[in-house]
Structure 1
């Protein structure tokens, strides 16, 4: 049963409202002025509020202003009652956050239509929000377990090595100590990166449902895209000891994406290009401008078996398993590209080599 709070100083009008609403099986609580009404909002937690404007002590505008300042009450549907139909009064109420107006005198049908319409709209918004939250929760819990496995295995391996050293009588070499330290250091770095990626992933999933924030983000520009890509490729190739394998052919452009986000996209894709290709085989990085679109191609020899599910994910298939298969990094890269109105796609070229294509809008 939906609960309605009626705030009205005229006793006859107040009781008339109560009678009509109770006849429709609403639960009704009432207050004769704004001060009492605000107290009842917090105590009774109504589903909708019907409030007169002209009242002693605290008028309807004051009630609405107070409720709008509290995050616990600012989403409750609010209908004003007024004896005036002046456009300035209507505009003032709407600017404060009122959902609807009823001008006295009003009919029973007008009252019930206004109440039911606002309740239905509120329920629809709540239902959509609840669905979004459920989808977000499902999305967020998918990638964590597999991402943790590799560093946890390294920590367990290091612990086992220490245990073996402790249970033997032989002397321990510096190389053995260094090997254990390297395992622990690698695991710590992986977990730190995972935490950073997980935080960013949560932020991006929230942003993906915020059109206003997306609009602001799409005003960002990366003015030296080719230079940024080249720096990342050279640094990653050096770390992976693949400097001799890379081939570069990059066209400079101003791309419609923030520098930090383009950097993140490229870092994740370059990491995986080296991961999914064998040392000694070429990895090419090409970029060009076509029809106001900046296209980045990453081409790699596919001489060993590559996980088919990984590539299906890049093409939008088996999305429910994508995070577990490919990790947070690629999920972040894809979401970032999508936010900036781009696409990530995998395919093969004529000679059988694998190729990832990223498209982003650019400034001509």
Structure 2
């Protein structure tokens, strides 16, 4: 038995309703099917409040609320708008069929119907829904995977520069060593800061490209650019010194005059910077020992397309990796090229090029060099971002596949002169094989294809398109002369969104095109919304928090270098050193919190928790060890943590490291609420058993004010991270909550007149569960 699905049948004829219900329950459709029934639209809506169906089959002529009113209501609900909707009706006049098809229904089937055909079409709709749903889930999981890969592999590396060089610098200052090496240590710290800053900025850009935020920025900032040559010259100026230092020649051969390009100068500059950075990186002397390194930049315009080529004679790429080089976190020969970055540059470049409705190609030969070519459409004076009525339009790319040149040109002209809420960018191909090649170069939002074509027919073309994960969401319309009933059924059974027969009605064709584009962009928006929670939690942590310590470490190291050069006092040297230490510690803490929160958000923490969990027989030792470590670090303050070592407590199942992190984060929060002065300040950590639980109690000698208490409860008890203002975010407490939930525990908060208490409650573990 396959996926569990729910089908809602809406029909006012009781015998028809029972017959369809019996048919779906008896016949095997490869799905574990639950059937819901309703006599009209109102009854159906009442059913949907309790159970969301995966497919709806509805009559049109019904009392109280007919099928069209029911469909309109369903489409207005964002939770229901993507449910496949089939009209099954006796209304079979041509104008009625046309109205039903353009209304938003996936299929319009007339009575009387053949049971087998109906079942096949229902299965086809369910197959397509499951396919799109799995693609949606796969895209989200891939994004989560990309995020965690970057975090775990790349964020800690530049941080090591900062911490390791700081330790060497501190040791030299404390032992009054020769200052000759100070500059090298400081350079190492600065290198770490620079690399981490660049990494953070690239990471943010990748997230914004994936979630559509950068696309929105692009739409707001793009305009016709007349000075593309100046953008290239500026990009060369940025890297010329670096190239000269490595004896790399840069040659620029522009074809003049330059065409006008519609785009965003910032995005285009990033594209140029990334490609030139790559070319210089892989043309370094160690990769070109037998010849002089050279980078050639050239431009040309042909057939309303502008091309920028950056060619180098560096190390080149093997054929095996060229198809993956634009994928996130892909790096060739990483062991040899450890300093090449996080594998995000070409991902960003490709994403920005595609925002400009362009594409990027690579040709490369190992040990001979690489050629990267960016293709961008030339701007035409007819292009506009507004329709004739002043309303905003959306760009939509359509691929037309037709072997009859006359019909192809006619259809292209019909779509290009269309004026409405979409501005169509048309690409064409003469058969399915050329259609696949066109899709590689020009990503499409909709495909319209003939069926009978040489070399590769429409059915094979559709099959190949649906095999590619990058294309599976593209709606597909058959436009064909095959108009017999069995042909239409065969076409719809193949999984196309629409089947239109020639000769076609232009208005109907345009209406169905708009309907499918509306659906496509609606699904895209839905996917973007599903990214939002993860994206916000990561971006809001990284953007406001990381820049301060990064800037401080860089500033203090620069100040220290100046002080050394100017032979300033030992006191000033130590102050700068302390500034580097404090901010590098803060930076380390932020990165570890960032990684922990991302793992919790993506579900990775749950997976590793299942692997790391074990029986903890000495639970009282955990708070004791954490308390002792804090006492050591607080030795110069008036704060003292009292934590007696408790023996003879029953075991718990858990992850020692994460539980100790929870205890430490709670202590950090509590200490942050205490006004530190010379007056003794006592914090009490106590572990004890209460019935079938172990409770770790943290008591702090101050009460919480109303705002701090509300903020604490939001983080620990109410699970409302998204409602918390960025300035009030406490990532350490969010981690505590996440880790305690993993342990199937809970948190308690108690605020009194002279103190407050935070308690971790964990279930007792026993091999014989019956004693619990």
TM range (shorter): 0.7 to 0.9
Structure 1 residue 160, shift from structure 2 partner: 1.5
**Structure-1 separation of matches of 2:159 and 2:247:** 32
**Structure-2 separation of matches of 1:69 and 1:234:** 53
**Structure-1 separation of matches of 2:363 and 2:23:** 60
Structure 1 residue 356, shift from structure 2 partner: 3.9
- Choose 52-61 or 251-260, whichever is displaced more: 251-260
Cross-structure match for 2:440 = none
The unaligned stretches of length 5 or more in structure 1 are 208-212
- Structure 1 residues 16 and 314 mapped into 2: Cα distance closer, same or farther (>3 Å)? closer
Structure 1 residue 266, shift from structure 2 partner: 1.7
Structure 1 residue 98, shift from structure 2 partner: 0.9
**Residue 328 (1) aligns with residue 344 (2):** yes
Please tell me whether the aligned partners of residues 234 and 243 of structure 1 are also in contact (alpha carbons under 8 angstroms).
Answer: no
Cross-structure match for 1:266 = 272
1:154 to 140, 152, 161: 161
- Choose 68-77 or 246-255, whichever is displaced more: 246-255
1:203-230 Cα shifts (integer Å, max 9, x gaps):
55678xxxxx9xx9xx986543332111
Secondary structure at 1:2 match in 2: strand
1:198 to 200, 203, 206: 203
Cross-structure match for 1:36 = 43
Q: Which has the higher contact order (CA 8 A, sep 6+)?
A: 1
Please tell me whether the aligned partners of residues 256 and 340 of structure 1 are also in contact (alpha carbons under 8 angstroms).
Answer: no
**Residue 55 (1) aligns with residue 62 (2):** yes
- Structure 1 residues 359 and 33 mapped into 2: Cα distance closer, same or farther (>3 Å)? closer
Please tell me whether the aligned partners of residues 255 and 361 of structure 1 are also in contact (alpha carbons under 8 angstroms).
Answer: no
Structure 1 residue 156, shift from structure 2 partner: 1.9
Cross-structure match for 1:22 = 25
1:299-353 Cα shifts (integer Å, max 9, x gaps):
46x6xxx5x7xx33796067587337352113433555577233133348xxx87
**Structure-1 separation of matches of 2:102 and 2:374:** 41
Cross-structure match for 1:287 = 298
**Structure-1 separation of matches of 2:259 and 2:205:** 24
Structure 1 residue 38, shift from structure 2 partner: 1.5
Secondary structure at 1:43 match in 2: coil
Please tell me whether the aligned partners of residues 49 and 79 of structure 1 are also in contact (alpha carbons under 8 angstroms).
Answer: yes
**Structure-1 separation of matches of 2:324 and 2:108:** 49
Please tell me whether the aligned partners of residues 314 and 344 of structure 1 are also in contact (alpha carbons under 8 angstroms).
Answer: no
TM-score (norm 2): 0.38
The unaligned stretches of length 5 or more in structure 2 are 287-291, 335-339, 380-772
**Residue 102 (1) aligns with residue 109 (2):** yes
Cross-structure match for 1:343 = 361
1:1-364 maps to which residues of 2 (within 5 A)? 1-24=4-27, 26-130=33-137, 142-161=149-168, 163-164=170-171, 168=174, 170=176, 176=182, 183-202=188-207, 204=209, 223-238=226-241, 242=245, 246-251=249-254, 252=256, 253-254=258-259, 258=263, 259-276=265-282, 277-278=284-285, 283-289=294-300, 294-299=307-312, 311-312=317-318, 316=322, 319=325, 322-323=330-331, 325=334, 326=340, 327-334=343-350, 336=352, 340-347=358-365, 354=369, 356-360=371-375, 363=378
Please tell me whether the aligned partners of residues 345 and 357 of structure 1 are also in contact (alpha carbons under 8 angstroms).
Answer: yes
Secondary structure at 1:85 match in 2: coil
- The structure number with the bigger radius of gyration is 2
Cross-structure match for 2:698 = none
**Structure-2 separation of matches of 1:173 and 1:107:** 90
Please tell me whether the aligned partners of residues 255 and 362 of structure 1 are also in contact (alpha carbons under 8 angstroms).
Answer: no
- Structure 1 residues 161 and 35 mapped into 2: Cα distance closer, same or farther (>3 Å)? farther
Please tell me whether the aligned partners of residues 221 and 257 of structure 1 are also in contact (alpha carbons under 8 angstroms).
Answer: yes
Secondary structure at 2:126 match in 1: helix
Structure 1 residue 231, shift from structure 2 partner: 1.0
- Note the aligned Cα RMSD (angstroms): 4.2
**Structure-2 separation of matches of 1:332 and 1:4:** 42
Structure 1 residue 134, shift from structure 2 partner: 5.5
